[in-house]
Amino acid sequence: MRKYQSWLTVFLVAAILLIINVLATFFNKHIDLTEEKRFTLTTPTVTQLQNLDETVFVRVLLDGKFPAGFKRLRSATQELLSDFHNINPKIDFQFEDPALGTVTEINERRKALAEVGIRPVNLRLMDNDQKSERLIYPFAIVNYKNRSMTVNLLESDVPGMPKEVILNNSVSLLEYKFSNAIQKLLSNDKPNIVFTKGHDELIAGETADLEQNLRQFYDTGRIDLDSVYTLPANKRGDSLMGAKIDVLIVAKPKKAFSEKHKFLIDQYVMNGGKVIWLIDKLNASTDAMQQTGKQIPVEYPLNLEDQFFKYGFKINSNLVADMQCGKIELAIGREGNVDQREKFRWYYLPVVAPNSTHPVVKGLSAMQLQYPSNIDTTSRVKTPLTRQVLLRSSANSRLQFAPTELTFDILRYQQQEQAEKFNQGNQPLALMLEGQFPSLYENRVTQEMSAGLQQLKTEFKPSSVSTKMLVVADGDIARNEFDPKTNKILPLGYSKIENFRFANKDFLLNAIEYMSDDKGIIQARTKDIKLRMLDAVRAKKHALFYQCVNIVLPLAMLGIFGLIYFWWRRRRFAI
């Protein structure tokens, strides 16, 4: 009888475990006990998924055999998409291996992917002291109705940054990338991104690469402030295409703004408009210096100082020189009829690596600026604003105040001189302001301004609704180079001298998205997954110990448990 009871108990336990496993296939839930809540989706993402009305199908090309780091990226992608599917079954996905099939099939597949801009990564990694090389497609294609969008799962490779850190950043940004892609595919209306003109700003050719990347999901254009009576921020009006302006960009103006133009921008901000100021304070340039060997930069007469002051910041009349910088090429002599050229670090081209957790810059690689000034963030006007510095120079920086003469003699500094001169610490170069801004024209509205407002049937606003403003003390951050030899526009941020693309474009695209995003999807960029790396040296040194702990110890514990159970049964059922 007791024998049958024992078998019945075993059968019931097995049946219960089987039922639990079957039910678990229908209810995929988990409890997030991680410190950084890596498995918890942000609220905007959950809301977006819950409101889906049509199927979103995701093709993930990251399948097959590849190094351990990419296995982690694949697993993280699968877990995330499974979480998406659990929230809304309309999220469907599949993993594909582009390397499967015959040679002809693989080549045709690679050609088709290349036609839509998807090219493989030739990755070289060290795995357990062995070199491995793979052609990998770390991409996903998100399809919704008759539209699709490619998602790059792998962050840009930054020289000097460990591969593990790059892969970890890639895992951290997966939720944002997929949520952002879905949001863009769902949106029927494109936000309007408008550049000002009429003050000798950057022309269309100089911002062509940025605008080309924007046009997939935004409408872009230029607007002459002399040709409009208002800049609508929250209603239809007489500006670009008769629609509201979501983000206004003032890109490297060189001529003065009239009071009319300043008033238009001011009331645009007061009505909730968002402005990106890309400002060169001084007219310094490498081209001018290479012609004469020296330059005395002077201020551009922008007439914006009072407006900036009222909005809570000031761009100082100086130049920031930084030992962490890019390079220029100079002629050092001639051999026959050929110039002998050499590359030198040029301190006025700071290479800025962001260390902020702000969603605009989190996870970005370094950016290169040209002759920037620093920003005074000390507000002398009491305003309910929050200010966050997005970009800073390195600790080895110095300030040169105008008027100052720039020469190439600075390249002669010895190491001790550099330490003595470049000692003024991190300097703010880009600032994000959010909140309510006071109007520059409070108690200063002229009769002409008042008459114009009456014609538009609108009222003067002395303070803004909550809005955002980005200030970068360098106008060239948005300017792409033009290659006359190939008659092509070079990518924004690309340095021909260093053959490297800095993250200038990514920074501006993130900033525009952050300022025009009313769904809060960009919050997912703030997720931070801590990298807890294995001490490879210690693991190799104590390999036998860890093998025993992971293999022998569990077997020993199981054996001890079996002996105790056997002894307990004999004692219990002994006659």
Q: What's the pLDDT tens digit per position in 192-210?
A: 999 999 999 999 889 999 9
Q: Which of 109-113, 271-275, 393-397 has the lowest mean pLDDT?
A: 109-113
Tell whether 177 and 200 lie within a shared domain.
no
Q: What does the pLDDT read at residue 378?
A: 77
- The residue written with tokens 């840009």 in the block is 156
Tell whether 91 and 235 lie within a shared domain.
no
pTM above 0.75, yes or no: yes
292 vs 510, higher pLDDT: 510
Q: What does the pLDDT read at residue 132?
A: 59
If you average pLDDT over residues 529-554, what whole number do you get? 68
Q: Are 77 and 174 in contact (CB under 8 A)?
A: yes
CA distance 368 to 157: 16
Q: Are 312 and 381 in contact (CB under 8 A)?
A: yes
Q: Which of 14-18, 311-315, 431-435 has the lowest mean pLDDT?
A: 14-18
170 is in which domain, residue-wise?
A: 35-184
Q: What is the mean pLDDT of the chain?
A: 82
Q: Which of 235-244, 353-362, 384-393, 436-445 has the lowest mean pLDDT?
A: 235-244
- Is residue 42 scored above 90 in pLDDT? no
Tell whether 436 and 387 lie within a shared domain.
yes
If you average pLDDT over residues 250-258, what whole number do you get? 96
Convert the pLDDT of each residue in 149-173 to its tens digit.
888 888 766 555 667 777 777 888 8
Residue 315 lies in a domain: yes
Tell whether 154 and 250 lie within a shared domain.
no
Residue 281 lies in a domain: yes
- Is residue 464 scored above 70 in pLDDT? yes
Helices 174-186 and 68-87 sit at what angle, rounded to 10 degrees?
50
Q: Which of 169, 184, 199 is the last residue of a domain?
A: 184
C-alpha closest to that of 287 among 335, 348, 374:
348
Residue 11 lies in a domain: no
Q: The tokens of 66 are what?
A: 């590849």
Q: What percent of the chain has pLDDT over 70?
A: 82
537 vs 384, higher pLDDT: 384
Convert the pLDDT of each residue in 479-527 to its tens digit.
998 766 677 888 999 988 888 889 999 999 999 999 988 777 777 776 6
What values do phi and psi take at 468, rounded to 5?
-135, 155
Q: The tokens of 281 are what?
A: 């304070």
Rg value, the chain, Cα:
30
Distance of CA 361 to the CA centre of its chain: 5
Domains in the chain: how many in total?
A: 3
Convert the pLDDT of each residue in 384-414 to its tens digit.
789 999 999 999 999 999 888 888 888 877 6
Residue 14 lies in a domain: no
- Is residue 336 scored above 80 in pLDDT? no
Please calculate the CA angle 30-35-36 and round it to the nearest 5 degrees.
90
Tell whether 139 and 243 lie within a shared domain.
no
Tell whether 358 and 386 lie within a shared domain.
yes
What values do phi and psi take at 319, rounded to 5?
-125, 140
Tell whether 204 and 227 lie within a shared domain.
yes
Q: Confidence band (pLDDT; 50, 70, 90) for 306? A: very high
Tell whether 137 and 167 lie within a shared domain.
yes
Q: Which of 153, 184, 215 is the last residue of a domain?
A: 184
Other CB atoms closer than 10 Å to residue 311's CB: what's the count?
Answer: 25
Burial category of 207 from C-beta neighbours within 10 Å (exposed 0-12, middle 13-18, buried 19 and up): buried
- Is residue 4 scored above 70 in pLDDT? no
CA distance 198 to 191: 23
Residue 7 lies in a domain: no
CA dist list (Å): 101 to 64, 105, 251:
12, 6, 50
Q: What percent of the chain has pLDDT over 90?
A: 32
Q: Dihedral angle at the C-alpha atoms of 102, 103, 105, 106, nearest 10 degrees?
A: 110
Tell whether 207 and 160 lie within a shared domain.
no
Residue 8 lies in a domain: no
Tell whether 219 and 151 lie within a shared domain.
no
**Upper half-sphere CA count for residue 300 (Cβ side, 13 Å):** 23
Tell whether 179 and 204 lie within a shared domain.
no
Question: What are residue 124's DSSP bridge partners?
Answer: 133
Q: Three-state DSSP class for 556?
A: helix
Q: What does the pLDDT read at residue 325?
A: 92
Residue 438 lies in a domain: yes
Tell whether 70 and 148 lie within a shared domain.
yes
Q: What does the pLDDT read at residue 236?
A: 41
Q: Which of 151, 184, 217 is the last residue of a domain?
A: 184
Q: What does the pLDDT read at residue 313?
A: 92
